[in-house]
Structure 1
Amino acid sequence: MKGIILAGGSGTRLYPLTKAVSKQILPIYDKPMIYYPLSILMLAGIKEILLISTPRDIGGFKELFGDGRHLGLMIEYAIQEKPNGLAEAFIIGEEFIGDSSVALILGDNIFYGTNFIDFIENATSLKIGGIIFGCYVNDPSAYGVVEIGDNGEAISIEEKPKRPKSKFAIPGLYFFDNKVIEIAKKVQPSSRGEVEITSILNEYLQRGKLKVEVLGRGLAWLDTGTNESLLNASNFVEVIQKRQGMYIACIEEIAYRKGYISKQELMELAYPLMKTDYGKYLMELADSTVEEYSLAYSSMNGG
């Protein structure tokens, strides 16, 4: 399975913060927002990733991640000229997807929970149909909403309904088989002028090929579209990291624990960051010290 991160949009609800920079580059406590969706794809075992952004912002992501090789990944980039809707990601990414199944995650969604890794790892084995998640929220009217039957099957999908049929919002993480490309091409723009992801979900629903995984109370799902939610997300990450001593969405750690990079490569990533707690954390993961790294670096370079 391949993965797509959609990091587009103009972030107007966050002006003036986003007037000159992508929302997904803004910090969520100690790391850029984009680290969080990338970490989800990495935890799912997805190594081939397409990052889609605006003409203005794509260069910043290239500078941040390069080709992903330092993390054991293969990262490619594409431009969405205008915010034409989430479904357009599959059209833009057609060549990248090829004959593979695909996961799409939005660049402003944050997930945290132990059992969630099991959900997404299982989802990557998808061969036929689509998988979405249902997350219980107090006010679902601001989201896509899935109505779920007694047997756990999806009954209906609505986009930001005024009178939601359920309390289960659909977070910005979707898994589809390869048919999603042809389905996306047939989607007609909505009244908002966008090709909606809801149209794709409804097509899979009509075909009887849409599965819903209900996320329990142990999972935290945050989106970061407003100043308040941006602050809340940062505070959440700070509390968890300081209490547990383990980092959320540390992409270098994930790459190391997944075996994508070696201990030596982890040390090389950590060393330039040693003035920060983040860098010290990475060095501790390698069970190494700055002195050990310096000796290894000197040896590698003939010192």
Structure 2
Amino acid sequence: MSGSPEDRGGPRAWAELLRLPALFTVPGDALAGAAAVRARPGRRTLLAIGSSLCLYEAGMALNDWADRAEDAVERPHRPLPSGRIRPAAALTAACALTASGLALAARSGRPALTVAAPLAATVWAYDLALKRTPAGPAAMAAARGLDLLLGAAATTGGIRPALRPAALLAGHTLALTTVSRQETRGGSPLPALAALATTGVLARSLTRRRARPATAARPARSRTTADTLRGALAAVYAATAARPYLHAALNPSPPLTQRAVGGGIRATIPLQAALSARSGAPVTALLTAALAPSAARFARKVSVT
């Protein structure tokens, strides 16, 4: 894609810069956080989702601003190296989106802002300093985990019950980010193999029944239905992520590695849905899973990597 005059600074260029299809992977973080603390999503949860969306897009804009020299060589079609968006505009957008994200978190309460502030700091640290260091994948994983905790903190003010779901989501993100580090050059099959193994471990953890006796409020039939939903979502997660990871492990070329990254990103939604189902929130799980078709449809128009 060249920087044609009619496209410079236009919606298409900004959609590519912000990788808009990836936005569908964000609301499930806060929803899974709310489910983990056994609360129904409400106004504060919606504010947390808005904060997450802003901080996520701030990271996207900042990522391309920080990578503009590298992208000029490896991805000259991207909005900044192609001249369709000015670097100053991308940096301004990153700052404005960060401020908006923190403001929305503050509106949902002090506990949410307490989580959103380190989340924003992690996003900026990753893009500006940590991305190419050994700490890069861990920083990205921490950001995803904090995003889930943001939903929990905004909804009830507490985060302890959400720590385990946040760790599972962070594990998926750690594996995915490690694979993404070689998507333009290819290389060793080990990151894809590690991601494949991580997917299996997470899927197994999602399907393991938690020892809670049936009660009058939650009869055995209801529990069986919830377990079935959780198992189905875990299977979708595993199928979405595992196949492209396996292909990348067998042939770690840039095209297959990029497909593996795309598969891992798409798998985030069924993982979030499975986490909500695991926490006993089937409606929230189904609402989250319903985002997947839209994410896939828009990803055919604008790349998520």
The alignment's TM-score, normalised by the length of structure 2, stands at 0.29
The alignment's TM-score, normalised by the length of structure 1, stands at 0.29
Specify which structure has the higher proportion of helix.
Answer: 2
Specify which structure has the higher proportion of strand.
Answer: 1
